[in-house]
With several copies, the nearest count.
Chain A
Amino acid sequence: MTEQNRVSVQLQGLRKVYGDAVALENFSLDIAPGELVALLGPSGCGKTTALRILAGLDTDHTGQIIINGKDIAGTPANKRNMGMVFQAYSLFPTMSVLENVAYGLRVRKVDKAKRDARAQQLLDLVGLGAMGKRLAHQLSGGQQQRVALARALAIQPNVLLLDEPLSALDAQVRTQLRDEIKRIQTEVGTTTLFVTHDQEEAMAIADRVGVMRHGVLEQCAPPQEVYLNPANVKVAKFVGAMNSLPAEVTSPTTLRIYGQTVNLRVGEGGTPTSKAGMALIRPEQLTLTHGDGSGPASATITNLTFLGPLTRISVRMTGDSSVLFIAMPSAIALDFPTGSTVNVEIRATSVLLDF
């Protein structure tokens, strides 16, 4: 069911102020036809504001919204032809599931037979083909969001907007529906903006992840890129778990950390201006070997948290008492009980320095 409605979206220099608070500052984002971009950030970072501006639900802003080369900033929400899925409970409670999905066509005065056929097609796509006659309250939360997705897609929207569609759901349903949304979006090919505060969700679903902090888009890149090569210290610290290790700058390209030499990666902040700082290293970039309590990388295991495939080990460094987290495959972690003496090894090819 690939549809022809593939459009590009360009948001240019958006700025939005609520009272004294700047919700969005010089926000620019290009979305390619058929691409799925996820905006990731804590609540209040402006991600939802950006989505609502694109939807036309938030109007007092500056900047351009260009769809297929045409600025639509003046077009009201109901003329923008966007499909939107809300956080929860957005189905019309008095309409059947089929009527909900057909609603956008009904207000466009498409005749009943035609719109019902289209709605049924969409319900089949989201795996609820047999539920068309139910009412919203007869569905589970996950099913309701599937219907909301079908309703958003029924009008063959220019852009699909998903505003935290999974955050009200249980962990298991969330994961399942996340993969489902990705599959459907790939199949239909609609240009999509997805807003979430859940990192794993953003990473798993998006072609590109836009990391937002305080109304500013810090980085927008494929998930691996954001995680493995964060543009700056802010992104590095916000996305995923991160250890800060004391580091000495030994050359323009190398650091010395707990007696080990590691390559320095230069982020947006430029080259270090001081001789020391904190190196940012992920828990899975550290590993352990059994130790004898001597040496600069010596440490003691203080705690183990079993997380299924991975185990998170906390160690206290013998030298400076700082606490580090190490993520290890659980099968290997069995060799390292609480209290044992270890050496911490850095397995990172290059690291960012917070100076």
Chain B
Amino acid sequence: MKKKLTSVNYLVLLAASAFFIFPLIAAFEFSLRVNKGKSHGFENFRWVFQQGGFKTNLGVSFRLALLTAVAVLVLMVPTVVYLHLGGGRWKRMIEFICLVPLVVPVISFALGVGTAFPVFLQSTVYELSFLYVIVSLPYTYRALDVGLSSIPLMTLVEASRASGASMRQTLLFVIIPTIRSAVNGAVFLAIALSLGEFTLAVLLHWDTFPTWIANISQGHILNAIALSVVSLVGAWLVVLVMAVAPKSLRSNKTQEATS
């Protein structure tokens, strides 16, 4: 049985890879075309960096991502922990509420929620962060919920309490370190969403990196592709740092512990 599955796995892997990697290679090849496709070079990229607004808009997007990440960290982590400790009574309702942003098309948010926001919030690009927190809610909640469900939370809390720790100490010393990968996942999801979001930014008439790319790309298709590759590689770097760094830190610690 195992033998058969292995070859199936290879096929699956190949198919999945082709789905992503072929388009990526094609896009990269496109981005290198210069002289109307007659030769290859990095000129498109150079052109990209020289466009006005590159730094500004990338800066806005990164600040939005940071703000969203902080909001998720500060609002969501304690909330989901409290829900888990308080028993399952509210979980169903909260889960339902967290599904809402999934079923409400983003466009409805832009129009409906946008108009209902207090004016002082609407006057700054950072209103987007509020919307991003809401839109990412189904995913961030789910990530934290899965993380907390996979640990014996109640026992750990009681063990910590019995050892003499306050709830604050328990949260900081025991719970957060234990679900750190879930917390990282939630924050990462929020960041990825903030960096790439287009609909809300465009409909609420704010300039972010994605809307700037869409703008710039009108009539400059090759350059736009190069830009998409750049933003893609940039985002990849963020993932890699976020995904690999904690793991290597952890394995260092383990090595130290077992040596």
Contacts and interface: CB of A to CB of B under 8 A. Distances in A.
Q: CB atoms of A and B under 8 A apart anywhere in the complex?
A: yes
Given A103-B173, A133-B259, A135-B257, A90 B165 contact: no
A104 B163 contact: yes
A86 B159 contact: yes
A133 B254 CA distance: 9
A279 interface: no
B256 A78 contact: no
B178 A104 contact: no
Contacts of B29: none
A36 to B, nearest CB: 18
A67 B47 CA distance: 76
Interface in B153-174: 155-156, 158-166, 169, 173-174
Contact of B164 (A89, A138, A155): A155
Interface in A97-125: 103-104, 106-108
Contacts of B256: 133
B248 to A, nearest CB: 16
A319 interface: no
Nearest to B159: A90
B258 interface: yes
A82 interface: yes
A141 to B, nearest CB: 14
B216 to A, nearest CB: 45
Category for how many chain B residues contact A: 20 to 34
Interface in B60-85: none
A94 B152 contact: no
Residue of A77, A108, A155 ringed by the most chain B CB atoms within 10 A? A77
A77 B160 CA distance: 10
A133 B162 contact: no
Interface in B1-42: 1-2
Nearest to A161: B162
A151 interface: yes
A145 to B, nearest CB: 12
A79 B1 CA distance: 14
Contact of A86 (B158, B178, B180, B259): B158
A107 B257 contact: no
B157 to A, nearest CB: 10
B2 to A, nearest CB: 8
Contacts of B174: 92
Contact of B158 (A81, A84, A96, A151): A84
A62 B152 CA distance: 29
Given A57-B158, A59-B1, A133-B259, A94 B163 contact: no
A215 interface: no
A138 B258 contact: yes
B177 interface: yes
Contacts of A44: none
Residue of B173, B178, B180 ringed by the most chain A CB atoms within 10 A? B173
A257 interface: no
A53 interface: no
Interface of B: 1-2, 151-152, 155-156, 158-166, 169, 173-174, 177-178, 180, 254, 256-259
Given A55-B162, A57-B161, A92-B156, 4 more contacts: A91-B159, A92-B173, A92-B178, A152-B162
Q: Which 8 A-B pairs give the minimum distances between C-beta atoms?
A: A104-B163, A84-B162, A94-B177, A107-B165, A133-B257, A90-B159, A77-B161, A90-B155
29 contacts: A56-B161, A57-B161, A77-B161, A77-B162, A78-B162, A78-B163, A78-B164, A79-B164, A84-B158, A84-B162, A86-B155, A89-B152, A90-B152, A90-B156, A91-B159, A92-B159, A92-B160, A92-B173, A92-B174, A103-B160, A104-B164, A107-B160, A107-B165, A134-B258, A135-B254, A135-B257, A138-B258, A151-B163, A152-B162
